[in-house]
Structure 1
Amino acid sequence: MMGGRREGALMRNSNAQSLRKSRIAIAIAVGIFLGAVFAFLYPHGIFVPSRPPLRNSISQVVPTSCESSERLNMLKAEFAAVSEKNAELQKQVNELTERIRLAEQAKDQAQKQVLALGVQHKAGPFGTVKGLRTNPAVVPDESVNPRLAKLLDKIAVQKEVIVALANSNVKEMLQVWFTSIKKVGIPNYVVVALDDAIAEFCESNDVPVYKRDPDEGIDSVGKHGGNHAVSGLKFRILREFLQLGYSVLLSDVDIVYLQNPFHHLYRDSDVESMSDGHNNMTAYGYNDVFDEPSMGWARYAHTMRIWVYNSGFFFIRPTIPAIELLDRVATRLSRENAWDQAVFNEELAFPSHPGYDGLHASRRTMDIYLFMNSKVLFKTVRKNDNLSKLKPVIVHINYHPDKLPRMKAVVEFYVNGKKDALKGFPDGSE
């Protein structure tokens, strides 16, 4: 009985284990089958986010690219507009700055005039007293020349203008002259044409030009005269400009402009002129000792010397002393066989003495490295590495007869950056 029960129990255990194994096998088989089904139906997995169809994707990318291109073009257009507006604003700022500077300058001059011409005052403390240097301007009189007054009203800036006289003898130099002015961007200039050909030449090149009314004496010299003869005319012609109330920067045509000269004037004197001096001493004055050994103890005599002002480039204000200067020089030149520059300097410099009343005109010497004559340039500046880096306001080819090639060389050197443009010329003339 005991053996029979033991065998029955073993059989039941064996059957239970077989059943468990069968269930596990079935579960594994079902799992494999379901895995295969899911693998077939979802080859990229169940949880991978769905992608839009290719057509939709392309349709979305293309508009985005177009929008970016259009946006870029809009930004470029906006940047260009802002840049243009900024340039215009900068120009206005520069103009306002210049006006403020001129206004302050005029205010200072007016205050000095009030102090000198108004109610009398006691002298101030030691070292604080300054005399009047700036004479008041004349009252403009447009009846002197209504046609010229109308022209100047259009082209002048702050009642100031560059004036040059020219006839056909200087046509090529005149072209270099006004081309340099245009390059710098100077708007207030005019050519006084002394013959019809120059008037037509200026008009064809969009250069402001003024042709005077017929004047037999002036026309004869103006049409056929050389440099010195034409130079003598300017003192008579300039008088009308001053009577109309305009300050004039008188300019010969053998000059190259590299900056706007009106930004470098002081306007505190009747005449501001460039110098023929070639260094600080000769241009601004020095104590020159004259030695006369026969005088023994008094052999040394001190003299004050200054090299002459250049009558081919000077700024003259519309004041009574300035107009008197023009009258004096023009009168002497009509009576004497003299050089206009010598007469110009004598009238400015000679003091009153027995039999002669000196001219009470104030004067200022321009900076010789800004308003440069050709001796300074070719003898000194071009040979000095530091000085040659400075950019002058103008260069006047007054010391050399080969004017046109030297003018062109100045343009090449200072404007076009050709470093050896000045090397081929001698210091002086040959």
Structure 2
Amino acid sequence: MAGRRDGSLMRDKTQSFRGSRIVTAIVVGVLLGSVCAFFFPRGFFSLDPPIQGRRFGKLDLQTSSSQCESTERINMLRSDIGSLSDKNDELKKQVQDLTEKLRLAEQGKDHAREQFSVLGKPHKAGPPGTVKGLRTNPTVIPDDSVNPRLAKILEDVTVQKELIVALANSNVKAMLEIWFTSIKRVGITNYLVVGLDDEIEEFCIANDVPVYKRDPDEGIDSIAKTGGNHAVSGLKFRILREFLQLGYSVLLSDVDIVYLQNPFNHLYRDSDVESMSDGHNNMTAYGFNDVFDEPSMGWARYAHTMRIWVYNSGFFYIRPTLPSIELLDRVAGRLSKEKAWDQAVFNEELFFPSHPGYDGLHASKRTMDFYLFMNSKVLFKTVRKDANLKKLKPVILHVNYHPDKLPRMKAIMEFYVNGKQDALEPFPEGSQW
């Protein structure tokens, strides 16, 4: 029994010793592995060179190439977006142009329909003296999108959709002051100065005068700022178009005019254009039969002609109708191509009839009373020499026949406003060359 116990004990010791050796080997192996991992993190047989001396690897090249491609792609996309934006703006402009043409076409169609409703249906003529044709053209449909800023100004300035409009730059500052002083004196509130430079805009604001400074326009800004009286006069036909498109009737006025009464109380408003005349008596202002004599024709030596002195393009009332806008377009178009006087072109387009190769303007017109809407020839040649005519009080006086405008305007104010009876006497009938 004792022998079996000793043998059993020996086996237990031997097994215990073997177990401790295994544990010791495992511990030693773990320790050696930790040491190797610490000193050789990339292994004993790594093929990669040290980081300090190696070039970009394949992965780095791929990353760099990808970044370059991305940058180029972004630039290409930006370029495409810019190109598309430009095309979009161009398409928008084309759409606006087409919309405007369509709107005008619709207006023309409405106008033609209204004309047809009057002229197209058969009418039975009444007794002599009772038949009257169509005189007044319908007004256009107002379009505030043409110039929203101007539309807002006109809402505040106009009375019954009418106003006086004058164009001015700093060259006519002194005359402009007399102009708006006379307007204020007679109580006119619906007037507006289109300021063609910053100085005039500031001058008007300082004197509590309604003013509209146009947005920059390379095509006409040089003329507007530095041009003389006639050059600036030619701009009005382009600028007035917006007023008519917005649906307003305009009494266009040069600044060499003195106001003595409210002109809106003396308008008929039955025509597209109602203008003062350069005529100086009934014949020249309202028209006459002028006989042309050609003796070589024998029995047919006398040829009858119809004549009228021109309308003054510096003072006229124009309604917002299609013929009125067509008139402005025709005159502005010709003045942009020809070296011509705006008043001559204005009258040619208004009066020349249709003939082979030319379609005349179908606009109705009325001549203003030349004693009420008086030019300076009538005043200095006739009125100041007649005791009865001197008692008349004109609505306006336009110093259009004389270049010494400022002193004559001051004299007119002295005579008609301050009652100085000899204020007009120092001036000659005509101008001093």
| TM-score where L is the length of structure 2 | 0.72
Match in the other structure for 2:259: 257
Of residues 402, 405, 416 in structure 2, which corresponds to 1:403? 405
Q: How does 1:156-235 map to 2 (within 5 A)?
A: 156-235=158-237
Percent identity between matched residues is 83
Q: Secondary structure of 2:219's match? A: helix
Choose the corresponding residue for 1:341, options 340, 343, 351: 343
Aligned match of 1:320? 322
Contact 1:155 1:189 in 2 (8 A): yes
RMSD between aligned residues = 1.3
Counterpart CA distance in 1 for 2:379 and 2:388 is 13
Q: Determine if contact 1:113/1:136 at 8 Å carries over to the other structure.
A: no
Deviation at 1:349, TM superposition (A): 0.5
Post-superposition shift, 1:123?
Answer: 2.2
Contact 1:116 1:131 in 2 (8 A): no
**For 1:19-34, what aligned pairs fall within 5 Å after superposition?**
none
**Aligned counterparts of 2:115 and 2:383: Cα–Cα separation in 1:** 40
Structure 2 counterpart SS, 1:217? coil
Structure 2 Cα separation of the partners of residues 120 and 417 of structure 1: 59
Listed as ranges, the matches of 1:237-316 within 5 Å are 237-316=239-318
CA distance in 1, matches of 2:379, 2:426: 13
1:394-423 CA distance string (max 9 Å, x none)? 000000000000000000000000100001
1:122 corresponds, among 121, 124, 146, to: 124
Aligned ranges 1:22-171 → 2 under 5 Å: 116=118, 120-171=122-173
Structure 2 letter corresponding to 1:418? K
Question: Residue 366 of structure 1 aligns with which residue?
Answer: 368
Structure 2 regions of 5+ residues with no counterpart?
A: 1-113
Per-residue deviation, 1:124 = 2.0
Following superposition, the deviation at residue 114 of structure 1 comes to 10
The superposition leaves residues 261-317 of structure 1 with CA deviations (integer Å, 9 ceiling, x where unpaired) of 000000000000000000011000000000001111100000000000000000000
Q: Secondary structure at the match of 1:216?
A: coil
SS in structure 1 at match of 2:264: helix
Q: Runs of 4+ in structure 1 displaced over 6 angstroms?
A: 112-115
Report the Cα distance in structure 1 between the residues aligned to 2:117 and 2:293, rounded to whole angstroms. Answer: 44
**Deviation per CA, 1:233-288, whole angstroms, max 9, x where unpaired?**
00000000000000000000000000000000000000000000000110000000
Q: Does 1:413 align with 2:415?
A: yes
Given that 1:113 and 1:134 are in contact with CA atoms closer than 8 Å, whether structure 2 keeps it comes out as no
Give the total of aligned pairs.
319
Q: 1:337 to 1:176 in 2, by over 3 A?
A: same
Q: State the one-letter code of the partner of 1:342.
A: A
Say whether the 8 Å CA contact 1:171–1:198 is kept in structure 2.
yes
**Whole-angstrom CA distance in 2 between matches of 1:205 and 1:248:** 23
1:228: Cα distance to partner? Answer: 1.0
Amino acid at match of 2:185: K
Native 8 Å contact 1:285 1:305 kept in 2: yes
* Superposition deviation, residue 217 in structure 1: 1.3
Matched residues in 1 for 2:203 and 2:337: separation? 33
User: Residue by residue, what CA displacement relative to the aligned partner does 1:379-400 show, whole Å, maximum 9, x if unpaired?
Assistant: 0000000000000000000000
For 1:304 and 1:223, locate their aligned partners in 2 and report how far apart those are by CA, in whole Å: 41
Where does residue 386 of structure 2 map in the other structure? Answer: 384
Structure 2 CA distance, aligned partners of 1:166 and 1:133? 33
**C-alpha distance in 1, partners of 2:133/2:373?**
27
- Note the C-alpha offset of 1:218: 1.4
